[in-house]
Amino acid sequence: MRIKYTISIVFFVALVIIEKENNIISRVSDKLTLKQTPRTPLQPSGFSHILLKHNGSFTSLGKIDSAFTLMKRRLENYSEHQEVMTRGRKHILLLATTRTGSSFVGEFFNQQGDNMFYSFEPLWHVEKMLTLDTGGTNATAAAKAYRDVLRQLFLCDFSLLESFIDPPPVDHITTALFRRESSSSLCEESVCSPFIKGVFERYHCRTRRCGPLNLTMASQSCLQKEHRAIKSVRVRQLETLRPLTEDPRLDVKFIQLVRDPRAVLASRMVAFAAKYKNWKQWAVGGDVPIEDDEVRKLKGNCDNIRMSAEIGLRRPSWLRGRYMLVRYEDIARFPMRKATEMYRFTGIPFTPQVKSWILKNTQAAKTSGVYSTQKNSSEQVEKWRFSLPFKIAQVVQKVCGPTMKLFGYKFVSSEEMLTDKSASLIEDKMFNFS
Ligand SMILES: *[C@@H]1O[C@H](CO)[C@@H](O)[C@H](O)[C@H]1NC(C)=O
Ligand SMILES: *[C@@H]1O[C@H](CO)[C@@H](O)[C@H](O)[C@H]1NC(C)=O
Ligand SMILES: *[C@@H]1O[C@H](CO)[C@@H](O)[C@H](O)[C@H]1NC(C)=O
Ligand SMILES: *[C@@H]1O[C@H](CO)[C@@H](O)[C@H](O)[C@H]1NC(C)=O
Ligand SMILES: *[C@@H]1O[C@H](CO)[C@@H](O)[C@H](O)[C@H]1NC(C)=O
């Protein structure tokens, strides 16, 4: 008997030490999860039984006991998590900003097939509803709304999103869901109610004729899918989404997509000509006023992107295994390789449908419209260097310098260097994540 106790105590002390090493316990729990062995000999209730039974002889072990209780609770927490994980359901959030190729990368998940419920920019409605007279939003209020809507959508619950749709859905039916047709999940047979003549739906399905969107049907279809993916260009700070990682019902994976800010600005000046008319004026003549609101906004965007990435790359425990950084330029140049990496990161099988979609859509010679995802992507990646004037590039380098450095985008010091296509402005850079 004595040997038995000694063994338990030694085992205990070892476990307590492990508990103190946060890293190790996480790794242990990760391994447990991977191996899918929920009831191994580590199962704690056996030991607590011994302790309770022999309270008297272990009075000096009070501290160990309380540490043990804490650990036990944590293990229970992990095994709760494990239940979700062993079912293998993944919740992917593709985080980007506009003109970074996020529609294109979103297609990697939209094309996945019957396993995936993909939502395209659902937060568009939230941002629109929360836009103030000033044209901006209250960042704190918006961040909270974004997070809560994302959480619900990952759980296939559209009710909070409905409260942001204008005009409000009636009986969960809406004709106003933004870019419905960009989500193949919302145009499937099972989400396609009978077409009603005379009812106008701006973002109607292209693949089949459907009536207005019945969100109850969408929710039911979503619940049938194994995985869920959402693309959004609206979240400003990754840290605001931390509660999603702590929700035991979710297994969230964040993919942050970034792009050279000079290329982003060049692209926005074309795609959002009205909004960027100041930049266009500066491009053709005069000096760029560095104290201008537009310039400040650009700096704010760059800083948000950089801060989110810095948190992700620092690998805090709440993000471990949940964060991946991807550069648009790498996807454009090596789409298949990057898609494979992204799928490996998410833990979802990379299907032949996705592969063939990527092949088809990265080698086409013609482009068709500003929102097109179909382009010769190798060619596309350097094009901006001939449309952005050097002085504008300089302004971007000035206000987005730290962001560019972090992601490995080279600065140019002259017009010649900007337009010298023989010298790439993209450093080879590996981002460690996991
Ligand atoms: C064992 O310890 C717990 C708390 O430490 C106490 O509540 C319980 O009464 C003790 N049992 C015995 C049999 O001493
Ligand atoms: C277990 O998880 C809950 C929430 O899921 C949390 O409030 C609690 O602090 C966790 N307990 C431990 C010991 O980590
Ligand atoms: C933004 O919203 C938060 C919470 O909703 C509120 O407390 C705060 O006062 C608002 N800030 C401004 C500047 O309106
Ligand atoms: C929407 O779909 C649900 C579930 O299929 C159904 O019960 C409901 O009647 C539909 N709503 C309308 C207005 O057709
Ligand atoms: C795409 O562009 C690259 C670089 O200009 C070129 O080498 C390649 O042949 C192009 N591919 C197609 C299919 O047009």
Q: Which of 8-22, 149-163, 317-331, 382-396 has the lowest mean pLDDT?
A: 8-22
The overall longest dimension of the chain from CA atoms, in Å, is 90
pLDDT band at 339 (very low <50, low <70, confident <90, very high): very high
- Residue 433 — very low, low, confident or very high, per pLDDT cuts 50/70/90? low
385, 353, 379, 356: which is closest to 366 by C-alpha?
379
CA distance 229 to 104: 14
| Pairing label, strands 91-95, 116-120 | unpaired
Does position 52 have pLDDT exceeding 50, yes or no?
no
Instruction: Indicate the residue among 86, 107, 135 that finishes a domain.
Output: 86
The CA 47 to ligand 1 mean position distance, Å, reads 15
- 114 and 64 belong to one structural domain: no
- Looking at the structure, tell me whether residues 175 and 97 fall in a common domain: yes
CA of 195 to the centre of ligand 4 (A): 14
Using the mean position of ligand 5's atoms as its centre, give its distance from the Cα of residue 140 in Å.
Answer: 45
d(Cα 279, Cα 269) in Å, to the nearest integer? Answer: 7
Q: Is 55 in the pocket of ligand 1 (CB under 6 A)?
A: yes
> Which of 55, 63, 69 to mutate to test ligand 1, by most ligand atoms within 8 A of the CB atom?
55
What's the pLDDT score for residue 231? Answer: 98
- The structure tokens listed for 7 are 């063994």
Do 223 and 336 lie in one domain? The reply is yes
Residue 240 in domain:
yes
Q: Is the CB of 214 under 6 A from ligand 4?
A: yes
Domain assignment of residue 422, yes or no: no
Question: Do residue 7 and residue 97 come from a single domain?
Answer: no
Nearest ligand 3 atom to the CA of 138 is: 1
**pLDDT for the residue 285:** 83
Q: Which domain holds residue 322?
A: 91-259+289-358
Atom 2 (ligand 2) nearest CA = 77
Do 236 and 330 lie in one domain? The reply is: yes
Whether 303 and 156 map to the same domain: the answer is yes
pLDDT reported for residue 419: 95
Which atom of ligand 2 has the smallest separation from the CA of 76?
1
Residue 408 within any structural domain of the chain: no
pLDDT over 60 at 367, yes or no: no
Query: Residues 230, 138: one domain?
Result: yes
The CATH number of the domain where 234 resides is what?
3.40.50
Q: Which ligand is nearest to the CA of 375?
A: 5
Q: Please identify which residue in the block is written with the tokens 């870019």.
A: 179
Reported as a pLDDT band with limits 50, 70 and 90, residue 25 is very low
Q: How confident is the model at residue 45 (pLDDT cuts 50, 70, 90)?
A: very low
pLDDT at 61: 57
**Range with the poorest average pLDDT among 42-46, 113-117, 281-285, 401-405:** 42-46
Residue 378, pLDDT score: 58
Q: Answer yes or no: is 434 within a domain.
A: no
Q: What is the mean pLDDT of residues 95-123?
A: 95
Residue 287: per-residue pLDDT = 81
Confidence of residue 157 (pLDDT cuts 50, 70, 90): very high
Tell me how far the alpha carbon of residue 230 is from its chain's centroid: 7
- pLDDT value, residue 9: 66
User: How many Å apart are CA 325 and CA 155, to the nearest integer?
Assistant: 25
How far is ligand 5, taken at its centre, from the CA of residue 396, in Å? 28
Residues 184-221: tens digit of each pLDDT = 999 999 999 999 998 899 999 999 999 999 999 999 99
In three-state form (DSSP H/G/I as H, E/B as E, the rest C), the secondary structure along the chain is CHHHHHHHHHHHHHHHHHHHCHHHHHHHHHHHHHHCCCCCCCCCHHHHHHHHHCCHHHHHHHHHHHHHHHHHHHHHHHHHHHHHHHCCCCEEEEECCCCCCHHHHHHHHHCCCCCEEEEECCHHHHHHHHCCCCCCCCHHHHHHHHHHHHHHHHCCCCHHHHCCCCCCCECCEECCCCCHHHCHHHHCHHHCCCCCCCCCCCCCCCCCCCCCEEHHHHHHHHHHCCEEEEEECCCCCHHHHHHHHCCCCCCEEEEEEECCHHHHHHHHHHHCCCCCHHHHHHHHCCCCCCCCHHHHHHHHHHHHHHHHHHHHHHCCHHHCCCEEEEEHHHHHHCHHHHHHHHHHHHCCCCCHHHHHHHHHHHCCCCCCCCCCCCCCHHHHHHHHHHCCCHHHHHHHHHHHHHHHHHHCECCCCCHHHHHCCCCCCECCCCCCCC
| Domain end among 86, 102, 127 | 86
The reply to whether 167 and 71 lie within a common domain is no
Number of domains the chain contains: 2
Residue 4 has pLDDT above 90, yes or no: no
Find the ligand nearest to 136 CA: 3
Name which of 79, 64, 69 is nearest 11 in CA terms. 64
Answer yes or no: do 341 and 207 share one domain.
yes
pLDDT tier for residue 51 given thresholds of 50, 70 and 90: very low
Same domain, 129 and 149: yes
Average pLDDT over residues 396-424: 96
N-term to C-term CA, the chain: 45
Say which amino acid occupies 181.
E
Over range 49-55, report the average pLDDT. 44
Other residues' Cβ atoms within 10 Å of the Cβ of residue 13: 13
207 close to 140: Cβ distance less than 8 angstroms: no
pLDDT at 374: 46
The region of weakest confidence among 39-48, 237-246, 423-432 is 39-48
Residue 52 CA: nearest ligand 1 atom is 1
Residue 219 is assigned to a structural domain of this protein: yes
pLDDT at 288 over 70: yes
- Please tell me which residue, 387 or 39, carries the higher pLDDT value: 387
Contact 161, 125 (CB under 8 A): yes
Residue 86: per-residue pLDDT = 41
Kindly report the average pLDDT of the chain as a whole number.
Answer: 85
Q: Calculate mean pLDDT across residues 159-168.
A: 98
The answer on pLDDT for 18 being more than 80 is no
Measured CA to CA, the distance from residue 335 to residue 339 in angstroms comes to 6
Distance between Cα 53 and ligand 1 center (Å): 9
Q: Look at 225 and 22; give whichever has higher pLDDT.
A: 225
> Residue 212: inside a domain, yes or no?
yes
Task: Classify residue 401: in a domain, yes or no.
Answer: no
Question: For a pocket test of ligand 4, which of 217, 221, 224 has the largest count of ligand atoms closer than 8 A to its C-beta?
Answer: 217
Based on the fold, state whether residues 12 and 151 are members of the same structural domain: no
| Domain contains 273 | no
pLDDT exceeds cutoff 80 at 92: yes
Of the ligands numbered here, which is closest to the C-alpha atom of 194?
4
Distances from the Cα of 191 to the Cα of 65, 335, 337, 354, angstroms: 54, 31, 33, 22
Summarize the confidence of residues 85-100 as an average pLDDT: 88
Same domain, 34 and 62: yes
Query: How much distance in Å is there from the Cα of 19 to the middle of ligand 1?
Result: 24
Residue 63 pLDDT: 62
Write down which residue in 64, 86, 108 finishes a domain.
86
Q: Which residue has the tokens 């990682």?
A: 245
Residue 399 dihedral angles phi and psi, to the nearest 5°: -90, -20
Q: Token pair of 31, please?
A: 């391994």
